[in-house]
Amino acid sequence: MQTDQHEACMTEASIQPSEPANEPHESRDPSLVRELVRDHRTASTRTSKVTMVRIDGDAAVSRDDELAVEEPLEIRLRWETSTIREEKTLSVTMRTPGDDLELALGFLVSEGIVRTREHVMDARHCGPAANGRDDGTSNVVRVTVASDAGFDPKRLERHFYTSSSCGVCGKTSLDAVRAAAHDALDFCSPRVAPETIHALPARLRAAQATFARTGGLHAAGLFDSSGALLVLREDVGRHNAVDKVVGERLRAGALPLRDTVLLVSGRASFELVQKAVMAGIGVLAAVGAPSSLAVELARAEGLTVLGFVRDGHFNVYTCAERVIGAQP
Q: Domain segments of the chain: what residues? A: 16-42+70-171, 194-322
The whole-number pLDDT of residue 170 equals 38
Task: With residue 80 as reference, give the H or E element that holds it.
Answer: strand 71-80
Residue-level pLDDT at 279 = 96
Is the pLDDT score of 261 beyond 60?
yes
Residue 302 near residue 284, CB atoms below 8 Å:
no
Question: Which position has the higher pLDDT, 199 or 127?
Answer: 199
* Residue 213 φ/ψ, nearest 5 degrees: -90, -25
Model pLDDT, residue 37: 47
CATH 3.40.140.10 assigned to domain 194-322? The reply is yes
Name the pLDDT band for 195 (thresholds 50, 70, 90).
very high
Query: Mean pLDDT throughout 265-271?
Result: 93
Highest mean pLDDT among 199-208, 214-223, 303-312: 303-312
Express each pLDDT in 207-254 by its tens digit: 887 665 666 688 999 999 999 999 999 999 999 999 999 999 999 999
Task: Indicate if the pLDDT at residue 26 is higher than 50.
Answer: no
Residue 37 identity: V
Residues tagged active-site? 166
Contact 21, 32 (CB under 8 A): no
pLDDT of residue 14: 26
Please state the rounded mean pLDDT for residues 29-35: 52
How confident is the model over 127-144, as a mean pLDDT?
79
Mean pLDDT, range 71-85, rounded to an integer: 87
Check pLDDT > 50 for residue 151. yes
Would you say 92 and 162 are in contact if contact means Cβ atoms under 8 Å apart? yes
CA separation (Å) from 170 to 27, 46, 115, 160? 38, 28, 24, 9
Q: Are 266 and 239 in contact (CB under 8 A)?
A: no
Q: State the average pLDDT for the chain.
A: 80
Residue 22 pLDDT greater than 90, yes or no: no
Q: Is the pLDDT of residue 129 over 80?
A: no
Q: Who has greater pLDDT, 148 or 255?
A: 255
Lowest mean per-residue pLDDT among 163-167, 172-176, 321-325:
163-167
Q: 3-state SS of the chain: helix, strand, coil percent to 5?
A: 30, 30, 40
Rounded average pLDDT over 70-91? 88
Where is average pLDDT lowest: 28-32, 127-131, 309-313?
28-32
